[in-house]
Amino acid sequence: MQEDVISLGRKGVDEEGYSEIPEGYEKGKVKYIVITGTVISGIGKGIFSSSLGTVLSCNGIKVAPMKFDGYLNYDAGTLNPYRHGEVFVLDDGTECDLDLGSYERFNNTNLTKDYYLTAGKIFKTIIDKERAGKYLGRDVQFVPHVTGEIKHFVRRLAVVSKADVVLIEVGGTIGDLENGYFIEAMRQLNYEEGKENVCFVNLGYILKPSSLGEHKSKAAQLGLRTLLSLGVQPDIVVCRSNLPIEEKIIQKISVSSNVPGNMVFNLPNLVSIYEMPLYLRQIGMDQAVIKSLNLNCRDHNDVLNFENWGKFVHTLKECEKTIKVGITGKYTELWDSYISIIKALEHCAPYRNSNVSIHWIDTTEVTDENVEEKLKGLDGIIVPGGFGSRGVEGKIKCVRYARENKLPYLGLCYGFQMAIIEYARNVLGWRDAHTTEVDRDTSHPVIDLLPGQRNINDMGGTMRLGGHNVLIREGSLAHILYGKTEIRERFRHRYEFNNKYLSDFVNRGVVFSGKAKHEDIMQILELRDHPFFVGVQFHPEYTSKPLQPSPIYLGFINACLKRKL
Ligand code: GLN
């Protein structure tokens, strides 16, 4: 019977069970974990999914983590980071949700577009197919076509990733209109693949109203009932809570959801997110999943193992020093808009025995008079990526202060460009030097559009995106930090250093220590007579991982520590 359901899909478009099966797909070879959320959003489903991936990987199981996002945007490229959090960029140039960043960091891996599905992507594929006449006169429906497209994407990942398990995080909360058809697709997947090959994990929240002072499980029960009403029987229920919950709550959840008590787990708040994989192991969640899917654990020599992760968490906790780093940012209110930078700084902490305390600097308020006051007490500053004119003059003043006062400076993308503009204005004496992004009519366009960007009108997916190789100049600081002459980093920009001015900068002491391998684009600048003044056109934070921190960030932290001494 089960076989029939899949072979029905192979027959083609006219079948009610329509689901195209990708080439090379073998049923039962790859297992699936589907993670859903109930009660409220924002309870750490992304970190939980990432951490479950970590524990399974540490057990020698190859995991392919993927995310489904219910918005109609094709990808996250056009989303405002202030509303939605940072736009993360994968090596293949995919602009995606920040959860993919957390999968990469927690699973010590690099992902591609095959790991990220949005409603926009599904519907675009379907409408493109319909326009091309691929549905052969049929009416195109949510079931079977939309659900079929989703199952196809998921199974395709199973094939291309060669993973043992595809771990699917369903964005949003159960009951949302946005993810309803996705849940339906997962219900069908479960039916077609067989119960033994799919494990549903639901993460709910146990409320504790301050007026009552005790945990209440009703909202969690109702959330689970909604999930059950969609035809999904969870195998494991995770109860998120602020503080540990009582056994009676576990029992209530168990009875109301048909999930045995030993498959209901409590996940109270932890001191640090990095502890979650160790905690999941401690409460036996990894074994519960492994048992439920009958997975084979393997011995392995990967960097990602319990010992290394445990060492990272332990040394992070024991850090003796703290440095103060200022970050100039437009989205100062929202940490999520700079999440990768914050994480990259955290990743360095155990390796340098120093925590980083972050101070946000709203550059719209920075003037020549108060810049010293604003940067007082900082051990270093970062000017991160950004777009447009807001706060730009304040950023340039901060760069100037850092350069002149030998304060460690790390410029990331826009921060690289700000450093160029500052140097042009204050060292080369070109008062109106600017980026044409802000001033089209400047007589010194030291930062200008990349040639490939000139005739582009669309906003989405059109920047210079993703991983590119960068050649490192021997003997430079970048060379010392990376320890090699060719690196790969990720980009997301439209503008670049204008090579017309190259000799002007070089003659006045700027070292361009990184250059694109296949194009004539300057990618790293540094100043020699400064303890650490580095600008990078790329985003090293996108590739930083707890077990592989970014060399550029490590170098910056070193310089901050030296200044503190
Ligand atoms: N706005 C600049 C550009 O497009 C910098 C982009 C960024 O910081 N990500 O080139």
How far is ligand 1, taken at its centre, from the CA of residue 103, in Å? 25
pLDDT higher than threshold 70 for residue 171: yes
Q: Are 535 and 547 in contact (CB under 8 A)?
A: no
pLDDT higher than threshold 50 for residue 8: no
**Among 495, 496, 498, 541, which residue has the most ligand 1 atoms within 8 Å of its CB, making it the best to mutate?**
495
> Is 354 in the same domain as 229?
no
Question: How confident is the prediction for the chain on average, in pLDDT?
Answer: 94
> Is 360 in the same domain as 383?
yes
Q: Are 356 and 346 in contact (CB under 8 A)?
A: yes
- For residue range 507-540, list pLDDT tens digits in order: 999 999 999 999 999 999 999 999 999 999 999 9
pLDDT higher than threshold 90 for residue 136: no
Q: From CA 507, how far away is CA 510, in angstroms rounded?
A: 7
Reference 289, options 276, 300, 280; nearest CA is 280
Band (455; pLDDT cuts 50, 70, 90): confident
Q: What pLDDT is attached to residue 456?
A: 83
Q: What pLDDT is attached to residue 18?
A: 66
pLDDT higher than threshold 70 for residue 262: yes
CB burial of residue 451 (10 Å; 0-12, 13-18, 19+): exposed
Ligand 1 atom with least separation from CA of 437: 1
> Is 303 in the same domain as 354?
no
Q: Say which range, 177-186, 457-466, 521-530, has the weakest mean pLDDT.
A: 457-466
Average pLDDT of the segment spanning 46-72: 97
- In the β-sheet with 445-449, what is the strand arrangement from edge to edge? 434-435, 445-449, 495-497
Q: Are 215 and 208 in contact (CB under 8 A)?
A: yes
- For residue range 420-451, list pLDDT tens digits in order: 999 999 999 999 999 999 999 999 999 999 98
Q: Which residues contact 164 (CB under 8 A, 6 or more apart)?
A: 30, 31, 61, 62, 63, 295, 296
pLDDT higher than threshold 80 for residue 562: yes
How far is ligand 1, taken at its centre, from the CA of residue 79, in Å? 15
Residue numbers annotated as active site: 413, 539, 541
In this structure, the residue with its CA closest to atom 8 of ligand 1 is 385
pLDDT higher than threshold 60 for residue 10: no
**Among 80, 389, 417, 541, which residue has the most ligand 1 atoms within 8 Å of its CB, making it the best to mutate?**
417
Last residue of a domain, one of 282, 308, 334: 308
Band (565; pLDDT cuts 50, 70, 90): confident
Q: From CA 411, how far away is CA 420, in angstroms rounded?
A: 10
In this structure, the residue with its CA closest to atom 1 of ligand 1 is 387
Q: What pLDDT is attached to residue 6?
A: 58
CATH number of the CATH domain containing 242: 3.40.50.300
> Is 519 in the same domain as 486?
yes
Structure pTM? 0.95
Average pLDDT of the segment spanning 473-502: 98
Residue 275 lies in a domain: yes
**Among 494, 522, 523, 541, which residue has the most ligand 1 atoms within 8 Å of its CB, making it the best to mutate?**
494
Q: From CA 503, how far away is CA 118, in angstroms rounded?
A: 46
In this structure, the residue with its CA closest to atom 9 of ligand 1 is 385
* CA-based end-to-end distance of the chain: 71
Percent of the chain with pLDDT strictly greater than 70:
96
Average pLDDT of the segment spanning 54-71: 97
CATH number of the CATH domain containing 487: 3.40.50.880
How far is ligand 1, taken at its centre, from the CA of residue 414, in Å? 5
Give the dihedral of Cα atoms 458, 536, 336, 202; nearest 10 deg.
80
Angle subtended by helix axes 180-193 and 2-11, to nearest 10: 120
Residue 69 lies in a domain: yes
Q: What pLDDT is attached to residue 2?
A: 46
Average pLDDT of the segment spanning 284-289: 97
> Is 226 in the same domain as 78?
yes
3-state secondary structure of 314: helix
Q: Where are the alpha helices (DSSP H) in 271-413?
A: 276-282, 285-293, 306-318, 339-352, 371-374, 392-404
Burial 314-337 (b: 16+ CB within 10 A, else e): eebeeeeeebbbbbbbbbbebeeb
- For residue range 372-409, list pLDDT tens digits in order: 999 999 999 999 999 999 999 999 999 999 999 999 99
How far is ligand 1, taken at its centre, from the CA of residue 474, in Å? 27
Last residue of a domain, one of 308, 339, 371: 308
Residue 484 lies in a domain: yes
> Is 287 in the same domain as 436?
no
> Is 31 in the same domain as 103?
yes
Residue 6 lies in a domain: no
Give ∠ CA 563-546-512 in degrees, rounded to 5: 55
Q: From CA 27, how far away is CA 368, in angstroms rounded?
A: 66
Q: What pLDDT is attached to residue 196?
A: 96
Query: Phi and psi (nearest 5°) for 35?
Result: -110, 120
Residue 487 lies in a domain: yes
> Is 365 in the same domain as 286?
no
- For residue range 328-385, list pLDDT tens digits in order: 976 556 678 999 999 999 999 999 999 999 999 999 999 999 999 999 999 999 999 9
Ligand 1 atom with least separation from CA of 413: 8
Q: What pLDDT is attached to residue 336?
A: 86
Residue 12 lies in a domain: no
> Is 253 in the same domain as 397?
no
Q: What pLDDT is attached to residue 276?
A: 98
How far is ligand 1, taken at its centre, from the CA of residue 478, in Å? 21
Q: Which residues contact 438 (CB under 8 A, 6 or more apart)?
A: 388, 389, 392
Q: What pLDDT is attached to residue 416?
A: 98
Last residue of a domain, one of 279, 308, 337: 308
Domain that holds residue 226: 17-308
350 to each of 270, 320, 541, how far by Cα in Å? 18, 10, 16
> Is 113 in the same domain as 54?
yes
Residue 130 lies in a domain: yes
Q: Are 156 and 22 in contact (CB under 8 A)?
A: yes
How many folded domains does the chain comprise?
2
Average pLDDT of the segment spanning 43-58: 97
How far is ligand 1, taken at its centre, from the CA of residue 492, in Å? 7
> Is 234 in the same domain as 258?
yes
Ligand 1 atom with least separation from CA of 387: 1
Q: What pLDDT is attached to residue 1?
A: 41
Q: From CA 66, how far away is CA 170, in angstroms rounded?
A: 9
> Is 273 in the same domain as 379?
no
- In the β-sheet with 264-268, what is the strand arrangement from edge to edge? 116-118, 63-69, 165-170, 31-37, 198-205, 236-241, 264-268
CB burial of residue 440 (10 Å; 0-12, 13-18, 19+): exposed
Residue 511 lies in a domain: yes
In this structure, the residue with its CA closest to atom 7 of ligand 1 is 385
Q: What pLDDT is attached to residue 458?
A: 82
- In the β-sheet with 464-472, what is the strand arrangement from edge to edge? 354-361, 321-328, 380-383, 409-412, 533-536, 522-527, 510-516, 464-472, 486-493
Give the dihedral of Cα atoms 510, 512, 513, 516; nearest 10 deg.
170
Question: In 363-521, where do the E strands start and end?
Answer: 380-383, 409-412, 434-435, 445-449, 464-472, 486-493, 495-497, 510-516
Residues with CB under 6 A from ligand 1: 385-387, 413-414, 437, 492-495
Percent of the chain with pLDDT strictly greater than 90:
89
Q: From CA 68, how far away is CA 97, in angstroms rounded?
A: 10
Band (327; pLDDT cuts 50, 70, 90): very high
Q: Are 552 and 481 in contact (CB under 8 A)?
A: yes
